[in-house]
Amino acid sequence: MNLVPYTAPFLLGFLGSASVELVTCFHFYQSESPFPARYHKKGFWAVRLLIAAAAGGLVLAYSIKDNPILAINIGASAPAILLTLAEGVKGARTN
């Protein structure tokens, strides 16, 4: 199996997701507000890394190969997409 065609879309989704946190950090830096405690926890960064990897996976699942902007956009919106999916699964369990 040749993984090369999947590398760039995955990385664009990953970077799109990571850019959300980068922009958030930049906002705190610009406003000179103290960084939230979550940024000092290894667990937060581990979960954030997994979410970014899932974002890359979503780009592959949507078969986005020739549209870099769309891949980045899907990556950036991945936390909202994943939360919506999780709420749907949670709701299905309670019904």
CB 10 within 8 A of CB 56: yes
Report the SS3 class of residue 81: helix
C-alpha distances in Å from residue 86, one per residue of 32, 62, 70, 78, 79 = 34, 18, 23, 12, 10
88 or 24: which carries more pLDDT confidence? 24
pLDDT digits over 42-78, tens only? Answer: 999 999 999 999 999 999 999 999 999 999 999 999 9
pTM above 0.75, yes or no: yes
Structure tokens, 11: 């990385």
